[in-house]
Amino acid sequence: MVKDPDDRDSKTKPGVSRRGFIATLGTGAVGAAARAAAGPAPPAQMQSLPEATGLTEVTLSINGRKHRLLVEPRWSLLFVLRERLGLTGSKQGCERGECGVCTVLIDGRPRYACMTLALEAEGTTITTIEGLMTGEELGPVQQAFAEHDAFQCGYCTPGQIMAAEGLLRANPHPTMDEIRIGMSGNLCRCGAYAHIFKAVDHAAGQRK
CATH number for the domain spanning 124: value is: 3.10.20.30
Residue 45 within any structural domain of the chain? no
- The last residue of a domain, from among 112, 131, 150: 131
What number of residues does the chain have?
A: 208
pLDDT of residue 15: 55
Residue 97 within any structural domain of the chain? yes
Over range 110-126, report the average pLDDT.
98
Residue 13 within any structural domain of the chain? no
Q: Are 61 and 112 part of one and the same domain?
A: yes
pTM of the model: 0.74
pLDDT confidence of 207, banded at 50, 70, 90? confident
Over range 50-58, report the average pLDDT.
75
Range(s) of the domain holding residue 66 = 56-131
pLDDT of residue 48: 46
- The last residue of a domain, from among 89, 105, 131: 131
Residue 112 has pLDDT above 80, yes or no: yes
Q: Compute the mean pLDDT over every residue in the chain, rounded to the nearest whole number.
A: 85
Instruction: Name which of 30-34, 183-187, 198-202 the model is least confident about.
Output: 30-34
Q: Are 114 and 160 part of one and the same domain?
A: no
Over range 89-101, report the average pLDDT.
96
Instruction: Name which of 50-59, 76-85, 152-161 the model is least confident about.
Output: 50-59
Q: Are 157 and 185 part of one and the same domain?
A: yes
Over range 137-159, report the average pLDDT.
96
Q: Are 139 and 190 part of one and the same domain?
A: yes
**CATH (domain of 143):** 1.10.150.120
pLDDT confidence of 44, banded at 50, 70, 90? very low
Domain count, the chain: 2
- The last residue of a domain, from among 116, 131, 146: 131
Residue 180 has pLDDT above 50, yes or no: yes
Residue 76 within any structural domain of the chain? yes
Residue 51 has pLDDT above 80, yes or no: no
Over range 24-46, report the average pLDDT.
50
